[in-house]
Amino acid sequence: MLGRFTAIAMLAAALAGCEPAEDVADPTPAATPEPPVPPGDTEAPAPAGGARQVAERTDLFLFEYSYPQAAGDVEPLARWLDERLARERDRLARNAATGRSEARDNGFPFNAYSSETAWEVVADLPDWISLSADFSTYTGGAHPNYGFDTVVWDKQSERPLEPITFFTSPAALDGAIGEQLCDALNAERAERRGEPVEQGSQDTFDTCIKPDETNLLLGSSNGVTFDRIGIQIAPYLAGPYAEGSYEFTFPVTEEVLEVVREEYRPAFASRN
């Protein structure tokens, strides 16, 4: 599964690994086992091309997942997205069952968990389809968390790629657009905060962000080649939760083209 570019996503992955412990011999009476996760009210039509939208609500969780027709019409991509759907639904169900059990054991009220993911097309080219996803999760805390996901599907090889793999290295891409990204981010920070970022500040919410630390998108204005780069920065990476997310778009320049891996050069064009 492709990596997500947020601290939120790392937290979700950590929760996903919290499987109930195996039974061990114990002289004390066994606790009442957690009942199976109920099937809930599910709308999940079998995908046969086209868009897909799934919604499931139970006493334990709310699960929503969708992708557009352009993705569903590419059969191998639709299968990949459906596999993601199944894994995320099963992980949510397990974590919610564990959370309810722990809340009950500790005398706390249980608030239903949730997971919502919506994929959208960024660019649909002859050999590639670039997708982005907005996702949000709730696991009983003070508020939901949200972030972004991304993938570029190779139609010829029928495989998913992370956008950063199109470039010679993360450091090379940072050298090509890092300064622009930092300037744009600090300008937006200043507007939201009502004051400029302190020069030389080492505060996490004041420092620059590297492109590979963000959700990187490959976009197109001509429907033939990638000629723009999108940057999405989730809460907590560049500012506090209340500050929200940051999103920027930069053109593919000659400097960017120089750091595109040779085998992917035909898929890119400069907008200088």
Q: Are 9 and 134 in contact (CB under 8 A)?
A: no
What pLDDT does 22 receive? 35
Q: Are 228 and 220 in contact (CB under 8 A)?
A: yes
Sheet containing 128-138: which strands, arranged edge to edge? 41-43, 52-57, 61-67, 113-124, 128-138, 145-154, 159-161
The string of pLDDT tens digits covering residues 144-168 is: 899 999 999 999 999 999 999 999 9
pLDDT beneath 50, residues of the chain: 1-35, 37-38, 40-44, 46-47
Hey, where are the domains in the chain? Answer: 39-161, 165-267
The string of pLDDT tens digits covering residues 55-102 is: 999 999 999 999 999 999 999 999 999 999 999 999 999 999 999 999
Pick the CATH number of 165-267 from 3.90.640, 3.30.70, 2.60.40, 3.30.110: 3.90.640
- Per-residue HEC secondary structure of the chain comes to CCCCCCHHHHHHHHHHCCCCCCCCCCCCCCCCCCCCCCCCEEECCCCCCCCEEEEEECCCEEEEEEECHHHHCCHHHHHHHHHHHHHHHHHHHHHHHHHHHHHHHCCCCCCCEEEEEEEEEEEECCCEEEEEEEEEEECCCCCCEEEEEEEEEECCCCEEECHHHHECCHHHHHHHHHHHHHHHHHHHHHHHHCCCCCCCCCCCCCCCCCHHHCEEEEECCCCCCECEEEEEECCCCCCCHHHCCEEEEEECCHHHHCCECHHHHHHECCCC
What pLDDT does 272 receive? 63
Q: Please state which CATH class domain 39-161 belongs to.
A: alpha beta
pTM of the model: 0.81
Q: How far apart are CA 52 and CA 68, in angstroms?
A: 7
